[in-house]
A and B are shown apart, each in its own frame.
Chain A
Amino acid sequence: MTRDEAILQFLLRMGDNTLILGHRVSEWCGHAPVLEEDIALANTALDLIGQTQMWLGLAGDIDGGKSADDLAFLRDAWDFRNVLLVEVPNGDFGRTLMRQFLFDAWHSIMLGRLMKSSDERVAAIAAKASKEVTYHLERSGDTVVGLGDGTEESHARMQEALDYLWPYVGEMFASDDVDAEMVAAGITPNPASLRAEYDALIMRVLSEATLTIPESRFAHKGGRDGRMHTEHLGHLLTQMQWLQRAYPGASW
């Protein structure tokens, strides 16, 4: 694997995470439990789409001058490199916010490390995204605490959400040849090296939320290397890519 091949994979992983999660969050538009949440969810989705433009924009430059739109709208599921966590359906508001929190926690730590990347382009994107993600984490963390330590029903729903999503957490810390190459070049941290900080962070929030982290460390994998996505991704892409696919070559 060449350096450029590896960095392309890494950029797709970052950009596909934000693209797919941004899409999922945007599905809430107009349907949130309270107006402030409509605003906050739209704002989160907007930030994530903006980050996607940066990550996939850089990926496209390396990938023979493609545009971020080419990568977002014209790849099929097997070429997507997002973790499975971000493609699972929204479920209820509790699951959406729990997924957001579990991702934001990883995302904020990851971006913090990437700000020190030996690749200046990567460091610059991370610095920009990091400010937004710090806010996302604060918000999703507060909401997880509020609902976990709210009523009996909200507590039960948040525990259910955590139980459902927990098996998707481990993939964020998996590594392969791409990571080895990136770590050797000083471009990214070793994913596994983020785990201790992550565990401490989520432990603090989830215990304040009076929620119990499941004991199993089993992890579904297959998203970040594209080996096996969930059935859900294809449906998401069907919707997201429809106009570009139905009217090839048009400019919008």
Chain B
Amino acid sequence: MYAQMIKTAGTGVKSREEMTEQERAFQDKIDADIKIEPKDWMPDDYRATLIRQIGQHAHSEIVGQLPEGNWITRAPTLERKAILLAKVQDEAGHGLYLYCAAETLGVSRDEITEMLLDGRMKYSSIFNYPTLNWADIGAVGWLVDGAAIMNQVPLQRTSFGPYSRAMIRICKEESFHQRQGYDAIRKMAEGTPEQRRMAQDAMNRLWYPSLMMFGPSDKESVHSAQSMAWKIKINTNDELRQKFVDQTVPQAEYLGLSIPDPDLKWNEARGHYDYTDPDWSEFFDVIKGNGPCNVDRLAARNKAWDDGKWVRDGLLAHARKKRTRNLAAE
């Protein structure tokens, strides 16, 4: 889940009587699972909320290159290096699809990028945690991509056409990433004592940040109800988090890795695992900019953007010159 705590624009779900005729027709389409396309009429609040959500998701793909890129030059084998390069390339591609989906809502990639760079828009809290040993790369694929998939699979059915189509493309690759991540950490868990130690250390550090990816409990939120009525949010945060825990615990057991939660246990009556919630005060610190890597991540993105200005300007100037020359030749 790369979109956390998206503030839904508007005042909450309107009753049919409160809706204008246009709004009613719009809601009927959504209820009938007819996709909303960029040229269709849509409420301003729907548009604004989607821009926030798709934008945050796109930014997460981009910033997410950094913790993984941190290990590309130190990958232990040629094959692992190739797999990681391919994954990071996919993530950048996901960013591209999503920026394109956002553009159909009337916000350019440059505008939305500026909003990331000056802190007006956020990216997923998970990417503010460091990758400290090689097992982290396996754990990121397994847990982080795994958590992302939980949210993104239902979003394939989201009401906005371009977003839904981007999700369909992205989900295929994400499940591949998750399998490769699991394979990488399995190799460590089955390896030497030092490798096992790395794997357990990765698990200890990344478990709770992965649970945080789903955002705080949103049972009470009116905003979330509106997003759900619009089908841009399909499940509650708690539903998805539970699903993730239920899926992950047996996998961790198979690896022989312990989950850093002494109260984690199967609840026969509920048919789910009981687990400890993450420390939400830590989560809010990270969201406010006080995570272990927030400052460095944003500085890295800003530096890339600033250092790249001459390149973007140069290529643009060349394209203009070429166009002028072609026109003159006609």
- Binding stretch for chain A, among B13-21, B93-101, B160-168, B200-208: B93-101
Is A240 among interface residues, defined by CB-CB distance under 8 A?
yes
Report the number of A-B residue pairs with Cβ-Cβ less than 8 Å: 151
**In the complex, what distance in Å separates the CA atom of A157 from the CA atom of B315?**
13
Restricting to A48-76, which residues have a CB under 8 Å from any CB of B?
49-50, 52-53, 56, 68-69, 72-73
**In the complex, what distance in Å separates the CA atom of A42 from the CA atom of B191?**
29
Interface size class of A (residues with CB under 8 A): 35 or more
Q: A26 contacts which of B73, B80, B308 (Cβ < 8 Å)? A: B73
Q: B73 contacts which of A69, A239, A250, A252 (Cβ < 8 Å)? A: A239
Q: Which residue from chain A places its CB closest to the CB of B195 in the assembled complex? A: A250
Is A231 among interface residues, defined by CB-CB distance under 8 A?
no
Decide if the interface of chain A is mainly helix, strand, loop or mixed.
Answer: helix
User: Could you tell me if B78 and A150 are in contact, using CB atoms closer than 8 angstroms?
Assistant: no
Is B313 among interface residues, defined by CB-CB distance under 8 A?
yes
**In the complex, what distance in Å separates the CA atom of A175 from the CA atom of B34?**
67
Decide if the interface of chain B is mainly helix, strand, loop or mixed.
Answer: helix
User: Could you tell me if A151 and B310 are in contact, using CB atoms closer than 8 angstroms?
Assistant: yes
A73 contacts across to B, CB distance below 8 A:
76-77
Interface size class of B (residues with CB under 8 A): 35 or more
Q: B313 contacts which of A35, A39, A46, A151 (Cβ < 8 Å)? A: A151
- Binding stretch for chain B, among A124-132, A193-201, A220-228, A241-249: A241-249
B93 contacts across to A, CB distance below 8 A:
39
Q: A46 contacts which of B65, B82, B305 (Cβ < 8 Å)? A: B82
Chain B residues in the interface with A (C-beta under 8 A): 62, 65-66, 68-69, 72-82, 85-86, 88-89, 92-93, 95-96, 99, 109, 134, 184, 187-188, 191-192, 194-195, 300, 303-305, 307-319, 321
Given contact pairs A30-B66, A149-B321, enumerate 11 new A-B contacts (beta carbons under 8 Å): A29-B68, A32-B308, A33-B305, A35-B109, A36-B96, A38-B89, A146-B318, A150-B315, A242-B74, A244-B76, A250-B194
